[in-house]
Amino acid sequence: MEVRVVAVGRVKERGLRDAIDDYLERIGHYAKVKEIELADGSEAEVSARITKSIPQRARVIALEVDGETIPSAGIAKWIGQAENDAVASLVFLIGGSYGLPRPVSDAAYRKLSLSALTLPHRLARLVLVEQIYRGFSILRGSPYDH
């Protein structure tokens, strides 16, 4: 299975970029992983870019303010279900400053909220990749989750 993080915007801050890259590398021990950074633009442009970045047979999870708030074990469960269902790609979508285009969000398999707090998108990306890594750690019985 491949895990793909598709985000509108780039993370340029060195410390955040290093932390995100560290977690992406850790996820790579469990699954193929790919981060795709997309340019912002009009809703139609962003929608087209996101749609193009989602491979066939993907299970899409959209990060949304009004999405489900679940514990880390819930993310582990979603990852485990995707593995059991032989999903080719598990894709997490992070929108730009105005969120995800409605059609893209509505087409997602699930909607996830990382927090009731409003997070900057670059920080949300760090939290997301850490939680994906934690999910795999939970599934594999790694001591990281303790």
The tens digit of pLDDT for each residue in 37-73 reads: 999 999 999 999 999 999 999 999 999 999 999 999 9
Report the pLDDT value the prediction gives residue 144, as an integer from 0 to 100.
Answer: 85
Evaluate the CA torsion angle 65, 58, 106, 69 in order and state its sign.
Answer: negative
Report the pLDDT value the prediction gives residue 98, as an integer from 0 to 100.
Answer: 87
Domain boundaries, the chain: 2-140
Q: What is the CATH number of domain 2-140?
A: 3.40.1280.10
Is the per-residue pLDDT at 146 higher than 80?
Answer: no
DSSP class of 126: H
- Mean pLDDT, range 9-38, rounded to an integer: 97
Report the pLDDT value the prediction gives residue 127, as an integer from 0 to 100.
Answer: 97
Q: What is the rounded distance in angstroms from the CA atom of residue 49 to the CA atom of residue 33?
A: 19
CB-based contact 135:75 (threshold 8 Å): yes
Two structure tokens written together for 81: 């279900």
The tens digit of pLDDT for each residue in 91-129 reads: 999 998 889 999 999 999 999 999 998 888 899 999 999
Report the pLDDT value the prediction gives residue 130, as an integer from 0 to 100.
Answer: 98
